[in-house]
Structure 1
């Protein structure tokens, strides 16, 4: 029966690999556009007595071909001098018949005319003054349309950043998304029209919209049919803590390893630092063979071959049922129910992530063949996970994978469960009667601590990432696709567990911790927004580096043991 199930896994691999073709073609890197924030660039231009376009043209030689215009508030126009703002009481004191408690503006005619139609509010004219019953200083008030037209005529890629507000009119005749725009990057924490007017707002957007890394915006999936572009930017407060070279490396990494197409930049206070940032970024993109240009939305139709991966996943589930020493069929059935009930349409991908990291541990402990077998099953699971889980929504990051924590928690626990003996009553009796040693307690505590650490340290922003590790990460990613430390650690434990004469319980403990690294392989590929080749090389580098460190560790332990025993 095992031979049959293993054969089904092999047969399912070929069509599942073919199913990855559309995603691989869609994930080709570039082109990317370097895009300056218009308001930040405008401040620099004004300080140098230049127009915005002159400043943009100066940076064009360094690769900047895009500009993003955040929508202004009424108060911004007032600060710039384009509008005057007064309360109704102030106008009454000036002898005008204004309403007390109202708020009035006057200024450039085109802007006042737009504001008169901009809000779902009553309004009135008092001579040149336009009045509203609420304070409108913090309401959205369009863009410097002349600057947008000038940038467009000069050939720049133009993005606009409209603000969602419950009081604004979503009128197609208003320049909420000007016709010159090539892309829309929603400002704030929600998409235009969210939550009740999304359908009305969709009619205003004719161009692709940006998905901002690390900034969930409710309502954004409603604009999926317009096309999605992935955008990366640095919080300006954080950027100022980085050298221009460090900031450039983060932008280049985002384009190379996470498929970002819009690199949203803000100038440093000193133009020389901005030039250093752009020069380093241009060099990094060129070295990574990522072209500059006008980005287009990445979309693909999932291949029907992907359904063959279900055959491999169910065959793997059957192997798990046969390989577990106790209640294997029941455990497999419960895993199936968990995946179907929790992950829904992603059930097959979740099952692959939970089952295949375990299968390699169920065979004989024949030295490093166990490591190779475990790695082989994990990579087979990667193919099935990617085939079933790769959809345009997951690859773009609109629909995150359900069960990321489970992929790190359940496989090591299943591996530990596989260590039980079939006569579990006798085993539990021996365990109960085993004399407790302080060393064993310490090792068990260390194992639990490492498991907890692996779960709490998911992601680059985890609170328990030491500064030394962050520096080592930065060093590694400069010379290779950086492997995940959990995988390096897990692979290093295999030689230590299998090539040294440990007691059975110590070997079991080491293999349990090694299972964390194997589970991390599937967890790596469950981040569907990372291009497949990047995840693949990350896993390969982790396996090779971990195995090398493990073999070095075996040599050191053997010499230490020989010295200790005299």
Structure 2
């Protein structure tokens, strides 16, 4: 029985490789359809400015209305064609000079009429006769819904209202967007984006009426204001969310997903699903970001910051499928300048100064400016069959990796893997796809280095041929093995939810660390031909070694290096100021920035290690360091919101520049060694 199983297992090894190849082939058309989705639709980029911020800045000016008119013209001249309008509040209407607001005490002083000392109401005067009716209706509907009493009031024939609520609280209450202001902005040529919140009680008929009015004004997108989408109650109570999704589909209004939020907005994914993922990704240049453009620094430093803003916006569109840029600004008090300053002029420079501005560079990259468009997903029915082949191939790849350690269990691992993954699919299809993608990506980069270590060991035993040719060829072959992993990631996770980052590929840190651990164990215990008894003996010897102070220092250094390595991994990775400048230089020079750990560290050291492995056994350690680069190749494609073209160029650049730097290292090594051999004997003779 045992002999029969081992015979089947030996035959299965070739079959597993064929399953991997079939899985790779199945991933190619899937990747092509993803490329069609990325390139064939949704190429419009919409630049949006926060209109409320403009109102708040105008409140610091001697002539607010004139300031707003001037800035609206400048916004249009500098490429901003859309404005974000919030749901109204009394405070915003006051900033817009649509109304004047008084407390009971202020109304007493204004009218010289005594008011009850127990009264704490809000008094309103309308400043524009033509919009009194519309504002009265908006305010009445909002406060009546909360059972707050209202009554008419006037002062010197100027109409107004009394709201029986304290002024501080009344100023915060959310109402319908100010349709009169929106019509004026539309007449001036601006598209409108609305910020919608979940602060008001959800009512179907009023909401449907509002969405109809917004549709007439050309509103295509909502940006959620706050921590929950309109209609969200709880994860269990989705009735209102269903109604909101139905109404948004009816009025053809989509959602903008704000990237890199620390806390996801409640109900966003559910509402996005209900509107059939009519979603675009949004990059927010926040008020806090804008204050850095108001600081009292030298012109050279300010120029660098302006250029940094431009670089940031270009990178967001090119590298992260951003289709809406949301600009915010804030006026601040400058003690050094002795006045209130705002960042608007600096922001205009960042947008379109000559060819260095963000907008000309985005346009040069093949994008157009206009109303944002969602991705039109290209997804053929045959992808179901492709996913089946990818499933088989991913499990086969994991089994083959394990066979590098224990060859006899490859077939058993494959069978158990298929059964276990099928159970995982029943439990959660998303978890199933992510687990397979993570396993395939980890195994591919591990296999790449294990293959390289074996090849280098064999070449050291039979040193024939060109060392340089062997080193370059080994790097390329190893990288092609890593490509297997990225093909499985792209194929298994080809979902619109990943492209829009509504769902994230978890386990990126494991994708970086696991190959290092796997390759380390392989190098210590499995690289050299040994039987299992000898490996157990070596393991016991390693575990029973006495730990020296040098070992502790080395372990601390490795831990520190690992922590730094992880701190720079992923979207929230940390980088020094110099590294940010270096990244910006590479991005602006090459158009696409190669990953630093690939072309500056891992690939050059791999190349040097392969070159030296002809003579030196310890050179294999340098090849092992190359696992960082191979894991990085796979991880590049794990950023599923990055276009495939950009990721591919990044990997090619990493290999090209890494090879060049590796050749320099080899040349330096040869110069040092030959100089040593030439001069050391002469020094000994003297």
Q: Indicate the TM-score class for this superposition, using the shorter chain for normalisation.
A: 0.7 to 0.9
Partner of 1:189: 227
Cα pair 1:42 1:51 within 8 Å, conserved: no
| Counterparts of 2:189 and 2:347, CA distance in 1 | 22
2:324 is equivalent to residue 262 of structure 1: yes
Residues 478-508 of structure 1, C-alpha deviations (whole Å, 9 max, x = no match): 1221122233322222123222259988445
- Secondary structure at the counterpart of residue 322 of structure 2: coil
Q: Is the radius of gyration larger for structure 1 or structure 2?
A: 2
Aligned pair partner of 1:231 in 265, 282, 291: 282
Aligned residues: 565
User: CA 1:94 to 1:202, structure 2 compared with 1: closer, same or farther past 3 Å?
Assistant: farther
Partner of 1:292: 369
- Secondary structure at the counterpart of residue 188 of structure 1: coil
Residues 226-269 of structure 1, C-alpha deviations (whole Å, 9 max, x = no match): 31011112123223435333212211111111111112224693
User: CA 1:237 to 1:335, structure 2 compared with 1: closer, same or farther past 3 Å?
Assistant: farther
- Secondary structure at the counterpart of residue 625 of structure 2: helix
Partner of 1:146: 180
Residues 435-462 of structure 1, C-alpha deviations (whole Å, 9 max, x = no match): 8777766555444332222222223543
Partner of 1:63: 79
- Secondary structure at the counterpart of residue 477 of structure 2: helix
Of 17-26 and 359-368, deviating more is: 359-368
User: CA 1:352 to 1:15, structure 2 compared with 1: closer, same or farther past 3 Å?
Assistant: same
Aligned pair partner of 2:642 in 530, 536, 554: 530
User: CA 1:30 to 1:426, structure 2 compared with 1: closer, same or farther past 3 Å?
Assistant: same
Partner of 2:484: 380
Cα pair 1:302 1:391 within 8 Å, conserved: no
Unaligned runs of 5+ in 1: none
| Counterparts of 1:113 and 1:332, CA distance in 2 | 68
- Secondary structure at the counterpart of residue 36 of structure 1: strand
The residue correspondences of 1:15-414 to structure 2 (distance < 5 A) are: 15-28=26-39, 30-42=43-55, 50=66, 52=68, 55-86=71-102, 94=113, 100=119, 103=122, 105=124, 107=126, 108-119=132-143, 120-128=145-153, 129-132=161-164, 135-165=169-199, 171-172=206-207, 175=210, 178-179=214-215, 180=217, 181-196=219-234, 197-203=240-246, 205=248, 206=251, 207-215=253-261, 216-224=264-272, 225-226=274-275, 227-241=278-292, 243-266=305-328, 269=342, 272-279=345-352, 280-303=357-380, 304=383, 305-325=386-406, 329=410, 340=424, 343-363=431-451, 364-366=454-456, 367-368=470-471, 369-414=473-518
Greater per-residue helix proportion: 2
| Counterparts of 1:504 and 1:116, CA distance in 2 | 85
| Counterparts of 1:326 and 1:434, CA distance in 2 | 29
- Secondary structure at the counterpart of residue 229 of structure 1: strand
Cα pair 1:228 1:396 within 8 Å, conserved: yes
Unaligned runs of 5+ in 2: 1-10, 127-131, 154-160, 235-239, 294-304, 331-341, 457-469, 527-531, 681-686
Of 474-483 and 438-447, deviating more is: 438-447
Residues 52-88 of structure 1, C-alpha deviations (whole Å, 9 max, x = no match): 5664344334332222213343223345453444556
Q: TM-score, normalised by structure 1?
A: 0.88
Cα pair 2:43 2:373 within 8 Å, conserved: no
Cα pair 2:501 2:641 within 8 Å, conserved: yes
| Counterparts of 1:89 and 1:38, CA distance in 2 | 31
- Secondary structure at the counterpart of residue 165 of structure 1: coil
User: CA 1:376 to 1:501, structure 2 compared with 1: closer, same or farther past 3 Å?
Assistant: closer
Of 61-70 and 323-332, deviating more is: 323-332
Residues 249-297 of structure 1, C-alpha deviations (whole Å, 9 max, x = no match): 2111111111111122246936543432221122212321222233211
Cα pair 1:123 1:130 within 8 Å, conserved: no
Tell me the C-alpha RMSD between the 2 structures: 3.5
| Counterparts of 1:323 and 1:40, CA distance in 2 | 61
User: CA 1:77 to 1:295, structure 2 compared with 1: closer, same or farther past 3 Å?
Assistant: closer
| Counterparts of 1:482 and 1:444, CA distance in 2 | 32
| Counterparts of 1:247 and 1:402, CA distance in 2 | 29
Cα pair 1:112 1:130 within 8 Å, conserved: no
Aligned pair partner of 1:427 in 521, 527, 538: 538
- Secondary structure at the counterpart of residue 442 of structure 2: helix
Q: CA deviation at 1:398?
A: 0.3
The residue correspondences of 1:473-492 to structure 2 (distance < 5 A) are: 473-480=583-590, 481-488=592-599, 489-492=601-604
Cα pair 1:118 1:168 within 8 Å, conserved: no
User: CA 1:103 to 1:43, structure 2 compared with 1: closer, same or farther past 3 Å?
Assistant: closer
Q: TM-score, normalised by structure 2?
A: 0.73
Cα pair 2:606 2:625 within 8 Å, conserved: no
Q: CA deviation at 1:371?
A: 2.6
2:17 is equivalent to residue 6 of structure 1: yes
Partner of 2:339: none
Of 320-329 and 215-224, deviating more is: 320-329
| Counterparts of 1:157 and 1:31, CA distance in 2 | 14
Cα pair 1:98 1:126 within 8 Å, conserved: no
| Counterparts of 2:121 and 2:614, CA distance in 1 | 82
Of 103-112 and 413-422, deviating more is: 103-112
Of 517-526 and 83-92, deviating more is: 83-92
Partner of 2:652: 540
Q: CA deviation at 1:399?
A: 0.4
Cα pair 2:208 2:247 within 8 Å, conserved: no
Q: CA deviation at 1:527?
A: 1.4
